[in-house]
Amino acid sequence: MASQATTFTSFFLIILVFHLFSAILVAGQSDCNVNLGSILSAGDNNPPWLSPSGEFAFGFRPLLHSNNEDLFLLSIWFNKIPEQTIVWSKNDHPVPKGSRIQLTNEGVLVLYDPRGVEIWRAQTGSNGGSSCAAMLNSGNFVLMNRDSSYIWESFRIPTDTMLPGQRLSMRGNLTSRQSETNYTDGRFQLRMQGDGNLVLYTIFLPTEIVNGAYWTSNTIRANSSSQLVFDEAGYVYIQQANENIRNITQRDMGSNQDFYHMARLDFDGVFRHYNRPRRNYAADASSCASSWSTVQTTPENMCRIMDNLGSGACGYNSYCVNSDGKPNCFCPEGYSPLDPLDMHRGCKPNFNLPSCQQGGWESNVEFVEFKQLNNTDWPLTDYELQTGPEIDINTCKEFCLRDCFCAAAIYNGKSCWKKKFPLSNGRQSPDLNKTALIKVPRNNETSLCPKSKDQSTLVLVGSLLLGSSVFLNFLLLLTISVVLFFLYRKKLRNLESSSSLHGLRRYTYKELEEATGGFKQQLGRGSFGTVYKGVLPSIPKRFIAIKRLDKVEKEGEKEFTTEVSAIGKTHHKNLVILLGYCDEGNNRLLVYEYMSNGSLASLLFGISRPHWNQRLNIAFGIARGLTYLHEECSSQIIHCDVKPQNILLDEYLTPKISDFGLAKLLLSEQSRAARTHIRGTIGYFAPEWFRKASITVKVDVYSFGVMLLEMICCMSSVGFAMGDQYEEEEALIDWVYDCYSKRKLNKLVENDEEAMNDMKSVERLVMVGIWCIQEDPSLRPSMRRVAQMLEGVCEVSVPPRPSGFSSS
């Protein structure tokens, strides 16, 4: 019996093995998933070439934020995750709509422009044509010859990203991109050098002069070949003579069953190793904070590593603060950024450099003050040192004060270093036990407001009058009247110029057409019209955003100027500034200041999640801006369309509300949209929109509440159920309330260490959010109250269940 059973088992085993083999054979043949003659066309919505697992795709991707809306990039991307992160591209060849990529009948991969002119072809060297191509499950796109060996691989010509299974061979390199969304080659390069050293370099474009290495692996070994290996398990290391000689990844990357892995030389010069849960929201709605997270950065601290290189990571006269490997640049007080759009370029003093001549501010002790920065150092550029037990912070200041060349002094408790201009390699970090004392001219003008100054002049005049003889009094009075007269005239003139500055400018259509180069560079489409980027000849360095309204209805026309001037009267740190308008025939345009960091939507739902503190500050700012609109400006403004797409961010990530004040003009349009149930924005509309109930400021409170919950979780209420089918938008709201009521708030911010360490704030924000989304408008707090609760000024009580959601 027993032997019969064994025979039976072995028989089954043999069948099993046979099946396995045939499965492998079939897999080998079906590797070829792109046949000769296959073709893809840019902008035609034809499906990309997919890997068998569907996880990677090869095809065209539209280039967002480009001058020309219709540019596409031939790319490979992660196809199963909402971010669709691009891992490879022909970034030197953005192509227009209608361009084609074809695997010709001769087996050559060629990129054609819309007229059929060849732009690029995959170089296969002496191997000739391929017999087919394949998008592999690894993310490698390959051309194969008849015996299935690869004659061309995207893995061999990487752009800025590496994937598990990929190797960077000797003399290979990765080049960073310009910015998060501009894929053109940027300023940094990672090279696997011929001498075995892995090196990070800065390049100065467009001359491509290599400036210098800012990080090296110190693995020079001339006699053996080296490569950078990204193994299947998700670890990056340097291999020489088939031996792992240096781990680049030192942290736990998570298993590749649970995580996607990727390593990228980012636009800020940091080589980052990312992982991301493979899970989809649709499958498991319990994890909220699913996105790419940085596991390791090389160099670990960009601020420190660039110590002996030129100006440092942040340019001259600035200081660098490391946050998770990302260099954040700041200007000390009294200095301002050279280029506000690029903080890495350094800072310039807001005052004249010391001339060391008589009459210079630096030579008059009274005109000088020191700004103190704790835990900060400019380690180079010192030229004199005093040291000894008698030196304290005041003697150090005195020491710098008495020397007109001294730009700043660094004090460490016993020594005092004098630093000269330009300050370089500045760094601030808690482990730096040094205090920077920055010498700047004392500024009495700006710190006092004009009123109190006038009063002090009067007091001065009065006391002088009392204390002098009649004749002198007369003379003095005369002088004072003359002086006051001139001062008054000057003030009048100031007032005039400031009113023309703060008032709105009326532009002609032609001016705006020229400013935008014929409305070419589209920044986005909002509910009221299209926004274009432009530059006015009068202020060449400053970009503007021009919104072209396309839905102004006939009745709205008369109100246009009234509304626009009402918008023009608003002035708040958290509102986008309206600079001017155009009202010519059918053309109605609004001219706004340009916001360099895009919208909150792209920040929040983009690749790298903003820090918890940044999100907190953004929430505070929006609440203050809305409070101003509702309560503080001359006539109440209901925004009616508060959503992340309408919150813009400047270079310091200050939130600025846009599109306010347009609702009156376009209200009918807006409410029609709401009432006809347009997918996508419905998530932010308060229930009263659908009930024809009266619309009050509380609709903005509701929208703010939804947005606040999104900011906590970093995910969109609209795309909450990421899968192929969308579930009800209310899912996010429902789920947040669920987590809140079950006291499982940590689920909302899983994988977000900063938020996890600040659960008190998370809870407060969630409670405020739930108050805001109450179905009954009268239960929702005012925006002022919301702002106070957010900032912790007043207590937040336990919110009731926002009815109407969970029941449905």
Within 593-632, the residues that bind ligand NAG by CB under 6 A are none
Shortest gap between Cβ of 70 and ligand NAG (angstroms)?
Answer: 12
Task: Pick between residue 170 and residue 504 the one whose CB is nearest to ligand NAG.
Answer: 170
Shortest gap between Cβ of 532 and ligand NAG (angstroms)?
Answer: 14
Binding to ligand NAG by CB under 6 A, coded x per residue (else -) over 164-203, reads: -------xxx----x---x-x------x------------
- List 66, 89, 176, 602, residue binding ligand NAG (CB under 6 A): 66
For position 455 contacting ligand NAG by CB under 6 A, the verdict is: no
Shortest gap between Cβ of 656 and ligand NAG (angstroms)?
Answer: 22
- List 1, 29, 47, 366, residue binding ligand NAG (CB under 6 A): 366
Contacts of 311 (CB under 8 A, 6+ apart): 346, 422, 424, 425
Shortest gap between Cβ of 101 and ligand NAG (angstroms)?
Answer: 19
Is 348 annotated to bind ligand? no
**Active-site annotation holds for 252:** no
For position 246 contacting ligand NAG by CB under 6 A, the verdict is: yes
List the structure tokens of 96.
Answer: 């227009």
Shortest gap between Cβ of 439 and ligand NAG (angstroms)?
Answer: 15
Name the residue type at position 34.
Answer: V
Task: Pick between residue 83 and residue 342 the one whose CB is nearest to ligand NAG.
Answer: 342
- List 126, 444, 446, 808, residue binding ligand NAG (CB under 6 A): 444
Shortest gap between Cβ of 448 and ligand NAG (angstroms)?
Answer: 9
- List 223, 446, 676, 778, residue binding ligand NAG (CB under 6 A): 223
Instruction: Please choose, from the candidates 589, 577, 566, the residue with its C-alpha nearest in 3D space to the C-alpha of residue 511.
Output: 589
Task: Pick between residue 430 and residue 467 the one whose CB is nearest to ligand NAG.
Answer: 430
Task: Pick between residue 350 and residue 374 the one whose CB is nearest to ligand NAG.
Answer: 374
Preceding amide of 802 cis, omega within 30: no
Strand residues in 219-367 grouped as ranges (E): 226-230, 236-240, 243-247, 259-265, 271-277, 293-298, 319-323, 326-330, 335-337, 347-349
Shortest gap between Cβ of 305 and ligand NAG (angstroms)?
Answer: 20
Q: What is the DSSP string of 176-202?
A: EESSSS--SEEEEEEEE-TTS-EEEEE
Task: Pick between residue 93 and residue 442 the one whose CB is nearest to ligand NAG.
Answer: 442
CA angle 59–65–68, rounded 5-degree value: 80
Q: What is the DSSP string of 617-657?
A: HHHHHHHHHHHIIIIISSS----S--SGGGEEE-TT--EEE
Residue number closest to ligand NAG, CB atom: 413
For position 338 contacting ligand NAG by CB under 6 A, the verdict is: no
Name the CA dihedral angle for 81, 87, 92, 98, rounded to a multiple of 10 degrees. -40
Q: How far is residue 736's CA from residue 493's CA, in Å, rounded to a whole number?
A: 56
Q: How far is residue 155's CA from residue 56's CA, in Å, rounded to a whole number?
A: 13
Task: Pick between residue 162 and residue 619 the one whose CB is nearest to ligand NAG.
Answer: 162
For position 226 contacting ligand NAG by CB under 6 A, the verdict is: no
Q: How far is residue 386's CA from residue 405's CA, in Å, rounded to a whole number?
A: 16
CB 713 within 8 A of CB 747: no
- Report in angstroms the alpha-carbon separations of 401 from 363, 380, 407: 8, 20, 9
Sheet holding 408-411, edge to edge: 368-373, 435-441, 408-411, 415-419, 382-387
Can you tell me which residue has the tokens 């200007």?
Answer: 331
User: Strand, coil or helix: what is 57?
Assistant: strand
Stretch that binds ligand NAG, among 61-69, 116-124, 141-149, 678-686 (CB under 6 A): 61-69
Task: Pick between residue 232 and residue 550 the one whose CB is nearest to ligand NAG.
Answer: 232
Sheet holding 376-377, edge to edge: 326-330, 319-323, 426-428, 376-377
Applying CB under 6 A, what is the total number of residues that bind ligand NAG?
27
- List 10, 123, 225, 244, residue binding ligand NAG (CB under 6 A): 244
Task: Pick between residue 218 and residue 247 the one whose CB is nearest to ligand NAG.
Answer: 247
For position 247 contacting ligand NAG by CB under 6 A, the verdict is: yes
Within 108-167, the residues that bind ligand NAG by CB under 6 A are 157
Strand partners, 61: 73
For position 433 contacting ligand NAG by CB under 6 A, the verdict is: yes
Instruction: Please choose, from the candidates 370, 408, 411, the residue with its C-alpha nearest in 3D space to the C-alpha of residue 387.
Output: 411
Q: How far is residue 403's CA from residue 393's CA, in Å, rounded to a whole number?
A: 16
For position 352 contacting ligand NAG by CB under 6 A, the verdict is: no
Point out the catalytic residue in the list 641, 659, 700, 752: 641
Q: Would you please indicate which residues are annotated as catalytic (active-site) residues?
A: 641
Site residues, ligand NAG (CB under 6 A)? 63, 65-67, 157, 171-173, 178, 182, 184, 191, 221, 223-224, 241, 244-247, 366-367, 374, 413, 433, 442, 444
User: Which residues are part of a known binding site for ATP?
Assistant: 547
